[in-house]
Amino acid sequence: MRDKLRALYYPDFWVEYKTLIKCILLFDEIHLMDRPSFTFGGRYGMVGAASPIRQYEKSFRDEGLPLYVHPAPGGIVSGELLKTVEADLSDANFVARFQEGLRVSPHFRDLHIHPGNYGHGETHETIFHKVAAIDLRQFASALEIFNDPLVRHMDHITPEGRFKILASAVACCSAKLSFGAREGFSPLADASPYSDLLTAKYRRTINSAAPSGMPIPATDLSLAILDELVPEETLGKIQIIDAIKYRKESESAREAFLERLLTLHAKLGEVPPDGNYSASIQKALTTEIRPAVTEFRNKLLTIHEKLFGKIAAGTLAWAGSSGLVQVFGDMTWEKLFSLAGAAGVYIAKEAIAARVEERAARRDCAISYLLDLETKQ
């Protein structure tokens, strides 16, 4: 029996709608945290807040969806967590990837430079442009500027002050990302900058000759497969109640998909020496997922061609039947099973055999759980 895939969403205390739909469809358990309240030596930090999803937590579980909201750690950042944050601030690659994340992802940007009026004519947009324009090569270390008491937090005027804004955002992101590494949880995020930040951390761990390698997150692999198979517009149309219903009705298919996923996850193994696990995931999509999609769709095509070939040949004796016109005008299972008369009996019999064959094909293809989503809309 496989271990449960327990996903912990760490970027914020709220989750985007499409990400929530993905979680409902994929993971055994969904875990979120309240917004943490912590400070760095009393100088800078975050103000905590309860997750808005708390009010729906029981309702989700009553519907059969294991969703949990946890209180977040708070207080002064110290010990191992502080060491992790300081290591990230000292890592120029980590800081550069964070800055690039602000540039490329509006969602990521709004999580770390919150929309609002910052006074003196400054908004989150003006601050973002100043932070995004910083040439990191002009500064020795983000950790050094973050700990410098002579540089004020939220100083928008001086180059050092703007760099401290960036360093402070990196520190808070690093702390939240590290909370997401709780034992027994698989980290989950919904913006590509987070995978880039994890890659930077993994590369640093590998370069330090860590005694054990870092596993590729199963959540990232599963989300990559879902994004490959399910069009973005389809996800946007799915209602929460329908996603839960599909999950319930397709539990055995979802289980088969996760079994296949974890087998593929084990096959991928640890993060490669260059730390770029995104490339490993893309390779898995190319060598494992896309061929399986092609094979499955070809099977369905063969079943349908064989069915309608038989129908065309077998109903010649009833040529002119209105049933025959119906079949080729609207070739749905419902139409096939509802045809009346001698031709209808023959067609329904062949359709039942094809339907059985199609169901067998779906059982043999673990990813059909996701491929079938589009037909449900």
Q: Which of 192, 207, 222 is the last residue of a domain?
A: 207
Residue whose tokens read 């060598």: 287
User: Which residue segment(s) compose the domain that 130 sits in?
Assistant: 6-207
Q: Is residue 263 part of a domain?
A: yes
Residues 15 and 70 in one domain: yes
Check residue 102 and give its pLDDT: 94
Cβ-contact 123, 113 below 8 angstroms? no
Q: Quick one: 34 and 121 in the same domain?
A: yes
Q: Do 345 and 271 share a domain, yes or no? A: yes
On whether both 153 and 58 belong to a single domain, the answer is: yes
Same domain, 24 and 101: yes
164 & 299 share domain: no
Domain assignment of residue 305, yes or no: yes
Domain end position, chosen among 191, 207, 223: 207
Taking the CA of residue 184 as centre, how many other CA atoms within 13 Å lie in the half-sphere pointing to its CB? 5
170 and 39 belong to one structural domain:
yes
**Tens place of pLDDT per residue across the chain (377 aa):** 688 899 999 888 989 899 999 999 999 999 999 988 889 887 788 888 999 999 999 999 999 999 999 988 788 999 988 999 999 999 999 999 999 999 999 989 998 988 888 777 888 898 899 999 999 999 889 999 999 989 888 888 899 999 999 999 999 999 888 775 656 788 888 888 888 888 888 778 766 655 455 677 888 889 999 999 988 888 888 999 999 999 998 998 999 999 988 888 888 877 676 667 778 888 888 988 988 888 887 877 776 666 665 655 554 444 444 444 444 444 454 555 555 444 455 555 666 666 667 777 777 788 888 888 866 65
Claim to verify: residue 269 and residue 194 sit in the same structural domain:
no
Q: Tell me the two tokens of residue 202.
A: 């993994």
C-alpha 27/C-alpha 67 separation (Å) is: 10
Please give the torsion angle defined by the CA atoms of residues 53, 59, 64 and 69, in that order, rounded to the nearest 10 degrees: 30
Domain identity same for 106 and 236? no
Rounded to an integer, what distance in angstroms lies between the CA atom of residue 149 and that of residue 144?
10
Burial bucket for residue 64 (CB in 10 Å: 0-12, 13-18, 19+): exposed
- In a domain? residue 1: no
Domain stop point among 207, 237, 262: 207
In a 13 Å sphere around the CA of 241, the CA atoms on its Cβ side amount to 1
Instruction: Give SS3 for 211.
Output: coil
Q: Please give the tally of structural domains in the chain.
A: 2
In this structure, the chain runs to a length of: 377
Residue 300: its pLDDT value, please? 73
- Is 203 within the bounds of a domain? yes
d(CA 377, CA 370): 12
